[in-house]
Amino acid sequence: MDAGVAAVVGAAVGTLGGLGGGLVTAMSQGRQQGRQRRFDREHRLEEARRHAYTTCITSTKHVSAAWWRLAARLRVEGSTQEQWRDPAADAHAAWAPFSSAVAGVTVIGPAFVAAAADALRQAMYDLDMAGTAWHEAACEAGVGRLDLFDARYMRAVEAKRAPGSAFQAAARQALRAED
C-alpha cells in the first residue's frame, strides 16, 4: 500500500472513530438529560404534593377550630345571637379554602391519597352540617345550649378523627416520609 492510500485509510478510520465516539457521547448525554428531566419532574411533583397535603391539613384544622369557637359560644349560658354571628361566619368562611384544598389533593394524587381526602371531606361536611344545624336551631330558639344539637356536633367531631388520621397516613406514604 502506498503512503497516499495509507494516509486516506488512516484519515477515514480516524474520522469514523471520531464520529463513533461523538455518537456514543451524544447518546450518553441524551440519556443523562432524560434522567435529569425525570428526576426534576418527580421532584416538582413531590413538592406540589407536599404543598397540597399541607394545605389540606391546615385548612382542616381551620374549619375545626372555627366550629369549636362557635360551639364554645353556643354552650355559654345566656349567650346571644350577636355573640354567635362572627364565629358562625368564620366557620362558614373556612369551608371554601378547605374544599379547594381537598380538590387540589384529588388532582395531584395519587389515587389512594385522593380517596383519603374525599373521606375526610365527607367527615368534615358532616361536622359542618352538624354545626350549621346547631347554629340555626339556636337562632330559632334564641338560646345556644341545645343538648341534642351539641351531642350531634360532638359525634361529628369524633367521627372526623379517623378520616383525618387516615389522610395524614396516606400523605406520609405518598411522600415516602416513613422510608
Q: Could you report the per-residue pLDDT of 45-58, keeping only the tens digit for each?
A: 999 999 999 999 99
Range of the domain at 129: 45-174
Q: Which residue would you say has higher pLDDT here, 42 or 171?
A: 171
Give me the CATH number covering residue 75: 1.20.1420.10
Residue 106, in any domain of the structure: yes
pTM: 0.81
- How far is C-alpha 145 from the chain's CA centre? 36
Query: Is residue 84 one of the residues assigned to a domain?
Result: yes
- Does residue 100 lie in a domain region? yes
Give the whole-number percent of the chain exceeding pLDDT 90.
74
The grid coordinates of residue 138 equal 339556636
DSSP label at 144? S
Nearest Cα to Cα of residue 83 among 96, 95, 71: 71
Rounded to an integer, the average pLDDT of 167-179 is: 92
User: Residue 22: is it exposed, middle or buried by C-beta count within 10 angstroms (0-12/13-18/19+)?
Assistant: exposed
Distance CA 102, CA 60 (A): 9
Q: Does 38 fall in a domain? A: no
Is residue 15 a part of any domain in this protein?
no
Which residues are CB-contacts of 145 (< 8 A; sequence separation ≥ 6)?
74, 75, 76, 77
How many C-beta neighbours within 10 Å does residue 36 have? 10
Q: Provide the grid cell at 125.
A: 361536611
Q: How many domains does the chain have?
A: 1
Model confidence band, residue 35 (pLDDT cutoffs 50, 70, 90) = confident
pLDDT per residue over 7-25, tens digit each?
656 666 566 566 666 665 6
**Per-residue pLDDT for 42 more than 80?**
yes
The pLDDT of residue 157: 98
Q: Cα–Cα–Cα angle for 64, 67, 72, nearest 5°?
A: 120
Going by C-alpha positions, the residue among 40, 46, 87 that lies closest to residue 63 is 87
- The set of cell numbers assigned to 95 is 369551608
In a domain, 73, yes or no: yes
The answer as to whether 52 is a domain residue is: yes
Whether 28 is covered by a domain: the verdict is no
